[in-house]
Amino acid sequence: MQTGKRKTAVAKAEVRKGTGIVRINNTRLENMGPELCQLKISEPLILAEAVAKNVDILVTTSGGGFSGQTEAIRTAIARALVEYTKDENLKKKFKDYDRSMLVSDMRQKETSKPGGRGARKRRQKSYR
């Protein structure tokens, strides 16, 4: 079981021998969210086509929004496929295509500070 993270979203992927079915929170990939998210999630499956056809991937995800979850799922699936196959060529293929497939993006939202609406914005100061 491998994990992927993005902002506050966390995804855990488990790879088993099977027929190429991908389930995310017990929902098939084809029925999940916006089409852009489906395409982003399917990138590691397309790159590892030979392996992906012979395995079932079960993903559980929580936290964040659909975009953050998509990135987390993508990372978790890629890591799980590399761990399942133990193939250095597949790992290199993922890394050459996009490094964020194997390395989680650890950037977080900056916390809001007093004196303003956000992390950096402040109320204007008037001298007159």
Distance, in Å, from the CA atom of 101 to the CA atom of 99, rounded to the nearest integer, reads 5
Averaged pLDDT of the chain: 92
CA neighbor of 85 nearest in space, from 5, 17, 12: 17
Tell me: pLDDT of 59 over 90.
yes
pTM of the complete model? 0.88
Instruction: Specify the CATH number for 2-101; select among 3.90.1150.10, 3.90.230.10, 3.60.70.12, 3.30.230.10.
Output: 3.30.230.10
Mean pLDDT, rounded, for 92-97: 93
**pLDDT value at 125 more than 90:** no
pLDDT tens-digit series, residues 3-15: 999 999 999 999 9
What per-residue confidence (pLDDT) applies to 105?
85
Reduce the DSSP state of residue 118 to 3 states and report it.
coil
Q: Where are the domains of the chain?
A: 2-101
pLDDT for position 7:
92
Contacts of 44 (CB under 8 A, 6+ apart): 52, 74, 77, 78, 81, 94, 101
* Mean pLDDT to the nearest integer, 14-28: 94
Q: Identify the DSSP state of 87.
A: -
Reply yes or no on whether the pLDDT at 116 is more than 90: no
Burial (Cβ within 10 Å: 0-12, 13-18, ≥19) of residue 10: buried
* Sequence-distant (≥ 6) Cβ neighbours of residue 109 within 8 angstroms: 7, 8, 119
Q: Which two tokens stand for residue 31?
A: 């029925």
